[in-house]
């Protein structure tokens, strides 16, 4: 592991990527399809009425949104755990979070399409679920992060066959690629060797 604090060199950059990625679930405009899906996640009936997104796909997206919530909070926990970073390198207070998905929809009363967006939990809930109190060192933080990233990569790969929409399946593939990228950085920092076998992920 380098002499640079992991918070600064690894955790923060990945955290920043994750924050930007959650926006993908929120910001309409990638494609009509994803805009509709995001509308469903936001509980917007008028947009969600589109037949392009199936209920199953909405459910899967909602689980993905839950994963994104947890990932962002896990990295925040990681950034706040372990030895302090160099003076000035560490942000004061929590990383600002983007507005909630549901807030983009003008009519939150309509959440009847099976599309009630999964809510972000309080940070303490994530801390408890992830046993954050046991994170005593940079290695602890990186190990937890690597475990979650590997799991997330496999999770996104695992839901690809379930998507009815090929566009959303591709999005899941791209998210999985992101997770693998994060895992590789973390594994490298932990001085873990790369897997010896091919097709390590998704099986």
Q: Are 45 and 123 in contact (CB under 8 A)?
A: no
Question: What 3-state class would DSSP assign to 203?
Answer: coil
Q: How far is the CB of 23 from other proteins (least distance, A)?
A: 19
Rounded Cα distance, 140 and 157, in Å: 26
- The residue (of 80 and 149) whose beta carbon lies closer to other proteins is 149
End-to-end CA distance of the chain: 29
- The residue (of 106 and 131) whose beta carbon lies closer to other proteins is 131
Q: How far is the CB of 159 from other proteins (least distance, A)?
A: 5
Exposed / middle / buried, residue 81 (Cβ in 10 Å: 0-12, 13-18, 19+): buried
Q: Which two tokens stand for residue 169?
A: 């399946």
Q: How far is the CB of 76 from other proteins (least distance, A)?
A: 16
- The residue (of 89 and 119) whose beta carbon lies closer to other proteins is 119
What are the backbone dihedrals phi and psi of residue 195, each rounded to the nearest 5 degrees, phi first?
-55, 145
- The residue (of 8 and 201) whose beta carbon lies closer to other proteins is 201
Residues that bind other proteins (CB under 8 A): 55-56, 59-60, 62-63, 66-67, 70, 114, 118, 128-131, 147-148, 150-152, 154-155, 158-159, 161-162, 203
Q: How far is the CB of 202 from other proteins (least distance, A)?
A: 8
Q: Which two tokens stand for residue 98?
A: 């983007």
């Amino acid at each position: 592991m380098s002499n640079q604090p992991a918070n600064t060199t690894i955790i923060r950059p990945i955290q920043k990527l994750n924050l930007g990625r959650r926006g993908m679930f929120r910001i309409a405009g990638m494609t009509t399809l994803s805009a509709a899906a995001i509308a469903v996640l936001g509980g917007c009936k008028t947009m969600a009425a589109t037949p392009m997104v199936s209920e199953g796909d909405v459910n899967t997206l909602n689980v993905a949104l839950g994963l994104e919530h947890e990932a962002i909070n896990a990295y925040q926990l990681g950034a706040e755990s372990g030895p302090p970073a160099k003076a000035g390198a560490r942000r004061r207070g929590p990383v600002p979070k983007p507005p909630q998905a549901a807030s983009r929809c003008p009519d939150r009363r309509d959440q009847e399409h099976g599309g009630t967006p999964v809510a972000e939990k309080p940070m303490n809930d994530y801390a408890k679920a992830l046993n954050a109190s046991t994170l005593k060192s940079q290695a602890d933080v990186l190990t937890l992060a690597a475990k979650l990233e590997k799991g997330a990569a496999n999770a996104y790969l695992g839901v690809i066959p379930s998507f009815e929409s090929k566009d959303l399946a591709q999005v899941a593939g791209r998210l999985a690629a992101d997770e693998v990228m994060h895992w590789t950085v973390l594994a490298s920092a932990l001085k873990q060797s790369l897997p010896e076998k091919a097709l390590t992920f998704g099986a």
